Chain A
Amino acid sequence: MINEIISMNGYGAYVWSAFAFTLISFTALYFVTKLQLSKEQKRFASKFGSLNIEKARAARSQNINREILSNTSNI
């Protein structure tokens, strides 16, 4: 049974390489995108940390900024 699945009637090399290429592409795209996202989140947190109290309060008044900060604390 396992040999049949691996050999795929002699087409195993073609079938498995097509599926492997797809899954490797998915994994690479996922990790590259995740890396870019966490880089921007870290940059946001560091910029936010360098603001004075008044500017930080003004920035915090926006929902989206609070949301980014709450997500940044999870990374």
Chain B
Amino acid sequence: MFKYFEPNKIFAITSKAPKYVLFLFIVVLTIGLTEALILSPEDYKQSDAARIMYVHVPAAWIALGIFSSLALLSIVSFIFKNKNFSLIAKSLAPSGFVFNIIALVTGSIWGKPTWGTWWAWDARITSMLILALFYGMYLLAWRIYEDKEQVVKVTSLIAILGVVNVPIIKFSVDWWNTLHQPASINILSTNVTIHASMLIPLGVMTAAFALFSLLIFLMKYNTELIKVKNKGLDRL
């Protein structure tokens, strides 16, 4: 099955895909921003401050999703000794880190008008900060270690240790008393406590953010493959 993921086979696609993904991202983002900033209604409690949700929530979802993928790819790469999976994981990490920072900063901006403070050492916020630290360590490890075997081991360990934090982030609002509101959407149940007029823009913005992370992943993955090929030319 892994032969379908071989760089020689997929580079023809990954090298051409970014321009189409960029176009699609711009279209979906334009629709999302129009819906989020103009068409969607204000919240009955938080008024227009609730519009920050349209950037904060998708950024947090994607940061969590990417870190979970990093851990999964690290495990697969470690078990099957497949270097391509560690390259895919390495290429995913930068966008995950940026989404994590966006979730923290926009959450802080949202906190001021709703809670009266920019920051609180609350369970959800603190666990998101810990996730950003794991992302930071993961990216730093790729820069520090020269030896390929060693860097794969270290980054896999960071991803596997860090993924323990993902369910803590998810359930922190249920396990502890926090300032953060509980989840309004649960993919495991049909109990959605958000109106369609807000759910649709949230979905469109999530799609736009997912397209952006795909775009960055493709560009980063192409960069990593060319780096490998550059080393190959040196050996000729």
Contact surface of A with B, Cβ cutoff 8 Å: 5, 8-12, 14-15, 17-19, 21-22, 25-26, 29-30, 33-34, 36-37, 40-41, 43-44, 47-48, 51, 55, 58-59, 62-65, 67-68, 71
Q: What CA separation (Å) do A66 and B102 show in the bound complex?
A: 38
Query: Secondary structure of the A side of the interface?
Result: helix
Total of A-B residue pairs, C-beta within 8 Å = 112
B16 to chain A, nearest CB (A): 8
B137 to chain A, nearest CB (A): 19
Q: Are the C-beta atoms of A51 and B233 separated by less than 8 Å?
A: yes
Q: Are the C-beta atoms of B98 and A29 separated by less than 8 Å?
A: yes
Which among B42, B109, B222 is the interface contact of A21 at CB below 8 angstroms? Answer: B109
Please name all residues of chain A whose beta carbon is closer than 8 Å to the beta carbon of B113 when the two chains form the complex: 11, 14
* B188: interface (CB < 8 Å): no
* B85: interface (CB < 8 Å): no
Q: Are the C-beta atoms of B223 and A37 separated by less than 8 Å?
A: yes
Q: Are the C-beta atoms of B110 and A18 separated by less than 8 Å?
A: yes
* B178: interface (CB < 8 Å): no
Contact surface of B with A, Cβ cutoff 8 Å: 7-8, 11-12, 15, 33, 36-38, 42, 47-49, 51-52, 55-56, 59, 94-95, 98, 101-102, 105-106, 109-110, 112-113, 212, 215-216, 219-220, 222-223, 225-227, 229-230, 232-234, 236
Q: What CA separation (Å) do A17 and B56 show in the bound complex?
A: 12
Please name all residues of chain B whose beta carbon is closer than 8 Å to the beta carbon of A18 when the two chains form the complex: 52, 55-56, 105-106, 109-110
Contacts known (A18-B55, A21-B102); A30 close to B215, Cβ less than 8 A: yes
Which among A29, A40, A64 is the interface contact of B227 at CB below 8 angstroms? Answer: A40
The residue on A at minimum CB distance from B95 is: A29
Q: What CA separation (Å) do A45 and B33 show in the bound complex?
A: 40
